[in-house]
């Protein structure tokens, strides 16, 4: 599947933290940067996300804010 | 200013592409990954975004989709 | 690629309307419902979107508002 | 109330799954497609969402990713 | 129509700035605060947005970042 | 830090409601309007959000829907 989302960032799952309905996923990507995502518990189970597993962070360009110091 | 957004990713501006109302910004971040953002022209001007300048990509955890092969 | 996004809706491309930096895509999905998406021009070209082509509308659960009359 | 959001999709509530602060709502729309939304518990109560009830899934065009096989 | 979105903020249209596919709308809300929205040109026309007209800014709770100095 | 997000709205924290993974924050802004945000528990702790404290609601223009009666 090819996506229109401009940002498809490969990484390794560092942590999968499950809440009542929402799961937080930490992904280590290039350069040691960590990206946090919040997804539904159902999605986390369906994708079989496990520490050490390979995954991508997918972000639409319109969801990226730019900041400067 | 400290942000609740979990993803504040430092990088260098590669390109600033202005449209009628929307500007696309390309940021090179760690590991050579490129992040694309779409912001308003007004914001791009206000932030004085220039090729080679330092900037951050800011993404809320709830805007990050996780994908697996 | 499997996605955490809960909504992956198959459809047929009805229209691809290109702007200065942003393209609007109309997709006809089941029951004749039409879904509109706005993506970058680059993405529209990369995906080779054409009228009559098959595509999916992908929406994160956290981006869906519920309304009642 | 008329909305700028391009996607206002009528459906029937299939399930309302309440978490600690977030509720997941499943809506069956035309063609048997199911749309999942995550909203606040407060919103779910205020809207009086019940299985079998009528509701709409509202999605902004800029929140719709397009994917192709 | 009642919405699950927690933020429905009444205001007066200050400006409607049309681009190739995207329109920027400025709304003055209570206390003189100005809220900017970007919507499709089609939506702006359909809603008949005019300077001085009444409108609401609608924002989902999950799209609001919190910041502190 | 300067942000591309067009809407940076100052206010006072009214309430901080913690769930399993997600915290809801209520902010009173000008004119008595209340803005609700949902952020990660981690973010709420990191920002030290407390009732009566000063904070900003930050919203990207592309996340603001416009509605009319």
Q: What is the pLDDT of residue B31?
A: 93
Pull the structure tokens for residue D19: 């978490």
Q: What is the DSSP string of E2-69?
A: EES-SEEEEEEEEEEEE-SSEEEEEEEEGGG-EEEEEEEHHHHHHTT--TT-EEEEEE-GGG-EEEE-
What's the domain count of chain B?
Answer: 1
Q: What is the pLDDT of residue D3?
A: 98
Q: What is the pLDDT of residue A34?
A: 97
All residue ranges of chain E with pLDDT < 50 are none
Q: Round to whole Å and give the CA distance between E5 and C66.
A: 8
Share of chain F above pLDDT 70, in %: 100
C11-61: pLDDT as tens digits:
999 999 999 999 999 999 999 999 999 999 999 999 999 999 999 999 999
Q: Round to whole Å and give the CA distance between E46 and E34.
A: 22
What CATH number should be reported for the domain holding residue A31? 2.40.50.100
- Write out the residue range of the structural domain in which residue B23 sits: 1-49
Within a domain: residue D52? yes
Q: What is the pLDDT of residue E39?
A: 96
The neighbour count for residue D22, using CB atoms within 10 Å, is: 29
B65·C4 Cβ contact <8 A = yes
Within a domain: residue C39? yes
User: Residue A40: pLDDT band by 50, 70, 90 thresholds?
Assistant: very high
Within a domain: residue F25? yes
Q: Round to whole Å and give the CA distance between A20 and D40.
A: 13
Q: What is the pLDDT of residue D30?
A: 95
Within a domain: residue C1? no
Q: What is the pLDDT of residue B58?
A: 98
Q: What is the pLDDT of residue A2?
A: 97
Within a domain: residue A34? yes
Q: What mean pLDDT do residues B14-29 have?
A: 96
Within 10-69 of F, beta carbons closer than 8 Å to D belong to 17-24, 36, 38, 62-63, 65-69
Which residues have C-beta within 8 Å of that of residue A30, sequence separation ≥ 6? A9, A10, A11, B29, B30, B31, B32, B33
Within a domain: residue C69? no
C43·A4 Cβ contact <8 A = yes
CA distance C22 to chain B (A): 8
Within a domain: residue E69? no
Q: Round to whole Å and give the CA distance between F4 and A64.
A: 9
Q: What mean pLDDT do residues F21-47 have?
A: 96
Mean pLDDT score of chain A: 97
D13-41: pLDDT as tens digits:
999 999 999 999 999 999 999 999 999 99
Q: Specify whether the CB–CB gap between E49 and F63 falls below 8 A.
A: no
Nearest-CA residue of chain D relative to F61?
Answer: D62
User: Residue A1: pLDDT band by 50, 70, 90 thresholds?
Assistant: very high
Which member of A36, A63, A67 has the closest CB to residue F3? A67
Share of chain A above pLDDT 90, in %: 97
Within a domain: residue F39? yes
């Amino acid at each position: 599947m090819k996506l229109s989302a401009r940002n498809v960032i490969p990484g390794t799952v560092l942590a999968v933290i499950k809440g009542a309905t929402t799961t937080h996923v930490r992904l280590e990507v290039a350069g040691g940067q960590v990206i946090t995502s919040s997804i539904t518990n159902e999605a986390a189970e369906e994708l079989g996300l496990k520490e050490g597993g390979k995954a991508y962070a997918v972000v639409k360009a319109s969801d990226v804010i730019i900041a400067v110091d």
